[in-house]
Amino acid sequence: MTHALHYGTSVFEGIRGNWNDRIGKIAIFRLAEHYERLLRGCKILRIDLPYSVDDLCQITVDLADKNGFREDVYIRPLAFKGQEAVANLNLNSLDDEFMLVMLPFGSYIDNTRPLKCQTSSWRRPMDSSMPTGVKIAGLYTTSILAKSEVLGLQVMMKRFF
């Protein structure tokens, strides 16, 4: 069992790539900005990747080309503490790993009709208690609970305080 699975010590991004018939390839939305945020999260969790933002962008573009998708895709880069370790809370002593997954992905919500919304009773953690400006896996539990609470609706709104 990896440290990331046991303790949530991973950083991820969710990136949309949209097929563009005019240019004959996938156009990826704000790729560099996504990887800048990923590397900020890596710094917080002391995950040392051997890649720059430019490297990560190129790896992603190359993977999109090699996969040959001719449709919209979802791109999930994941940096994580990959060592099998339990009861080791020293982030500096753990192995760092990276993976990149790309898969076909249509519309996230049905936007052909009005959306049903609800405010969840779950609240987003305060920025002073958790690094909410980056996508650390363990921090998404609140979002998952909130989304589960309003299941069946297209949009969930979380309270911030």
Residue-wise pLDDT for 126-147, tens only, equals: 778 778 888 888 887 877 777 7
Q: Which residue matches tokens 């589960």?
A: 148
The pair of three-digit structure tokens given for residue 134, joined into one six-digit string: 């980056």
pLDDT at 93 over 50: yes
Residue 50's pLDDT is: 97
Residues labelled catalytic:
135
Q: What is the rounded average pLDDT of the residues 83-101?
A: 87
Q: List the domains of the chain with CATH numbers.
A: 3-104 (3.30.470.10), 117-159 (no CATH)
Residue 44's pLDDT is: 93
Written as one letter, the residue type at 38 is L
Do the Cβ atoms of 110 and 154 come closer than 8 Å?
yes
Do the Cβ atoms of 42 and 50 come closer than 8 Å?
no
In what helix (H) or strand (E) does residue 56 lie, and over which residues does it extend?
helix 53-67
What confidence category does residue 161 fall into, taking pLDDT thresholds of 50, 70 and 90? very low
9 vs 85: CA distance, rounded Å? 12
Q: What is the rounded average pLDDT of the residues 63-83?
A: 95
What confidence category does residue 31 fall into, taking pLDDT thresholds of 50, 70 and 90? very high
Do the Cβ atoms of 59 and 12 come closer than 8 Å?
no
Residue 158's pLDDT is: 54
Average pLDDT, the chain: 87
Do the Cβ atoms of 161 and 154 come closer than 8 Å?
no
More confident call, 148 vs 160 = 148
pTM (predicted TM-score) = 0.84
Question: Residue 73 in 3-state DSSP?
Answer: strand
The pair of three-digit structure tokens given for residue 82, joined into one six-digit string: 């990959």
**Burial annotation 82-111 (CB, 10 A radius, 16+ → b, else e):** beebeeeeeeeebebbbebebeebeeeeee
